[in-house]
Amino acid sequence: MRILIADDHDLVREMMAAYLERDCGMKATQSASFDEAMAQITGNGPFELVLLDYRMPGMKGLEGLRAALEASGGNPVA
């Protein structure tokens, strides 16, 4: 499973990615901002799951979530 983890806190993002790759066999891509995440979704997607930090640079709350849902082509965004 390909997953995108977008969070501006390096430790949180890296820990989640390491766990999902090591213990769950997933392929995790990381982004530190909403703009970076959107570039990953449009350039390297689709991802089977996108995890977004609700409060990170560029996110803009529900507006950012809607944009990510639209860009992810129907795949889940949380």
**Domains of the chain, CATH where assigned:** 2-71 (3.40.50.2300)
User: Using one digit for the tens of pLDDT, what is the confidence trace for 20-57?
Assistant: 999 999 999 999 999 999 999 999 988 999 999 999 99
The number of C-alpha atoms within 13 Å of 38 and in the hemisphere containing its C-beta is 17
Contact (Cβ atoms closer than 8 angstroms) between residue 50 and residue 77 = yes
Overall average pLDDT of the 8-23 stretch: 96
Whether the model clears a pTM of 0.75, i.e. scores above it, the answer is yes
Report the alpha-carbon distance of residue 35 to residue 24 in Å, rounded.
Answer: 27
Instruction: Name the helix (H) or strand (E) containing 14.
Output: helix 10-24
